[in-house]
């Protein structure tokens, strides 16, 4: 199942007026949605795997998908969906190279990232700030990596290709990220 989301996706919550607040990012205007979040991958809005039950695309991938997958080429920059602090930055099993942004009772995980991190744990970031890039499908030299493609090459977690997996937890309970955009 594939979902298409219009560019600069700004879903409307019934009965809520869309915010006119904007965040200027690298010569682009990114609009905040009514919940105050900005889309993490400007210009990339197709969802290749939604939140919830699914058929596992790879061995080791969960059949209960804890986020949404947004396909994009390796090196595509992604941004902080809100102001916060980077609280995690390393290889994390099925999520591959992962960055976690924390604020209030939220934890936003960006998975299958480029291993050349541009943020540090403890760093405060602003909404709309570039915090990483979509990683490659294959990564090499990761101790303990159990994920491989059909040719036997090690992958960036449980993945079939380059994409950003976006997961949102509130009080450590996974939520559908699209409920916030």
pLDDT at 50: 83
Question: What value does the mean pLDDT take over residues 11-38?
Answer: 49
The rounded distance, in Å, linking the Cα atoms of 59 and 159 is 9
More confident call, 94 vs 66 = 94
Does residue 112 register a pLDDT over 80?
A: yes
Structure tokens at 53: 């039950």
Cα dihedral: 4, 62, 121, 139 (round 10): -90
Give the C-alpha distances (Å, rounded to integers) separating 9 from 82, 91, 130: 16, 29, 18
Cβ-contact 117, 101 below 8 angstroms: no
pLDDT at 79: 98
Q: What is the mean pLDDT of the chain?
A: 82
Which 8-state DSSP code applies to residue 58? S
Does residue 17 register a pLDDT over 50?
A: no
The rounded distance, in Å, linking the Cα atoms of 106 and 56 is 26
With 0-12 / 13-18 / 19 or more C-beta atoms within 10 angstroms meaning exposed / middle / buried, residue 108 is buried
Does residue 62 register a pLDDT over 90?
A: no
Question: What value does the mean pLDDT take over residues 15-27?
Answer: 36
Cβ-contact 179, 106 below 8 angstroms: no
Which residues fall within 8 angstroms of residue 16, CB to CB, at 6 or more apart? 34
Question: What value does the mean pLDDT take over residues 90-106?
Answer: 96
Question: What value does the mean pLDDT take over residues 66-94?
Answer: 96
The rounded distance, in Å, linking the Cα atoms of 45 and 56 is 22
Does residue 178 register a pLDDT over 50?
A: yes
Give residue 37's Cα distance to chain centre: 13
Structure tokens at 165: 């997996």
Q: What is the largest CA-CA distance in the chain?
A: 51
- pLDDT confidence of 63, banded at 50, 70, 90? low
- pLDDT confidence of 65, banded at 50, 70, 90? low
- How are beta strands 130-133 and 77-79 bridged, if at all? antiparallel
Question: What value does the mean pLDDT take over residues 160-167?
Answer: 95
Structure tokens at 120: 């540090």
- Assign domain 22-180 one CATH number from 2.70.70.10, 1.20.1070.10, 3.90.1150.10, 2.30.110.10: 2.70.70.10
Does residue 29 register a pLDDT over 80?
A: no
Full-model pTM: 0.79
Structure tokens at 162: 């380059």
- pLDDT confidence of 48, banded at 50, 70, 90? confident
């Amino acid at each position: 199942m594939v979902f298409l989301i219009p560019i600069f996706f700004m879903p409307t919550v019934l009965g809520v007026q869309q915010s006119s607040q904007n965040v200027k990012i690298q010569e682009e205007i990114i609009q905040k949605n009514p919940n105050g979040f900005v889309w993490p991958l400007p210009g990339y809005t197709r969802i290749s795997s939604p939140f919830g039950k699914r058929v596992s695309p790879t061995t080791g991938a969960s059949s209960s998908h804890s986020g949404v997958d947004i396909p994009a080429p390796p090196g595509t920059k992604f941004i902080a969906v809100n102001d916060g602090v980077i609280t995690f930055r390393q290889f994390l099993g099925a999520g591959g190279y992962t960055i976690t942004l924390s604020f209030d009772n939220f934890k936003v995980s960006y998975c299958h990232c480029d291993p050349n991190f541009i943020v540090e744990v403890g760093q405060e970031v602003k909404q709309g700030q570039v915090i990483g890039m979509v990683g490659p499908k294959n990564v090499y030299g990761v101790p303990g990596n159990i994920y491989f493609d059909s040719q036997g090459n090690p992958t960036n977690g449980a993945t079939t290709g380059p994409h950003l997996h976006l997961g949102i937890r509130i009080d450590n309970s996974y939520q559908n990220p699209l409920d916030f955009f």
